[in-house]
Amino acid sequence: MTSCIPEIELKAHAKVNLTLEVLGRRPDGYHNLRSVIVPISLADSVTLHRAPGGEIGLAVSTESWIKAERLGPGALNLAVRVACLMQQRYSVRQGVFIRIHKRIPIGGGMGGGSADAAAVIRGLNKLWNLNQSLAELSSFGADLGSDIPALVTGGAVVIEGRGECVTPLFAPEVASAVEPIWLVVANPGVMCSTAQIFAKWRADLTNAPEMVNNIRLHIQRADVRAVADTLYNGLEQTVFSACPEVAKAAALLRNAGCPGVLLSGSGASVFGLVRSEAHGEMVSRKLPAGLWHRVVRTCPVV
């Protein structure tokens, strides 16, 4: 059956890692991780238009502060790769024209490219009337990027393995009642290579499943101070040593009054928890104009 939907508009939410444990090296050279990932209100816009003859096209626009040269060639864009592979995997003859407007820092540890890819996966499932389950779409995304399964699933999740094992942090009836937490995200304008960070990483392994349980309880209670005390990223010191600009951005957030500050993913973005939107605006005013930053909230449900 051919879908009659001509166009779909989606939000591709950025994410932050509230915890990130490195559990050990895998036989394939990657590392097993465990991380609590929460989407935030900062989002790219993704629009999918049906295209004839199996054609796949892409147009990307950006906010003025984003360095467009970091996007790379369109043929290598993760959203285009997703569309091509979905055509092959699900034997689709239809095409799509993808429009993306970027607001998420590129290479910033907030899942920008993966968020766009996840939105395309969810959107094409509807546009092309594929009727694939969320579990199947998440599994498909795992072959393309470690953050994609979490962002396809949506909401606050725990990821394990390379990211292919995704578990919602809350049951649906609980998630809908969870209050958002406000934070200030900042990016110093540098890019951190995930591969290079892991190559330099020499910290101790962690294996503390109680960390997930604790942060789940603190988020459910909207206890910002307790969440701040539970934040953890096993890559943080490696990134701070390799990229002093990232360490400086984190220090600026702490000095501006954030009760908890953490690196997101492998960087280069950092975030600071705040007590409220008003507190976030107050922190924002204390940050230098040259440092990109935004006041955002978590989205336990997407």
Distance of CA 34 to the CA centre of its chain: 15
Which residue is catalytic, options 44, 102, 116, 147? 147
Angle ∠(279,107,134) on CA atoms, nearest 5: 85
Per the annotation, the verdict on 248 as an active-site residue is: no
Per the annotation, the verdict on 223 as an active-site residue is: no
What is the rounded distance in angstroms from the CA atom of residue 52 to the CA atom of residue 258? 51
CB of 159 closer than 8 Å to CB of 31 = no
Whose CA is closest to 242, among 184, 202, 293, 204? 202
Which residue is catalytic, options 15, 44, 102, 116? 15
What is the rounded distance in angstroms from the CA atom of residue 254 to the CA atom of residue 265? 18
Whose CA is closest to 250, among 194, 293, 295, 199? 293
Q: What is the DSSP string of 230-295?
A: H-EETTHHHHHHH-HHHHHHHHHHHHTT-SEEEE-TTSS-EEEE-SSHHHHHHHHHHS-TTSEEEE
Which residues are tagged catalytic? 15, 147
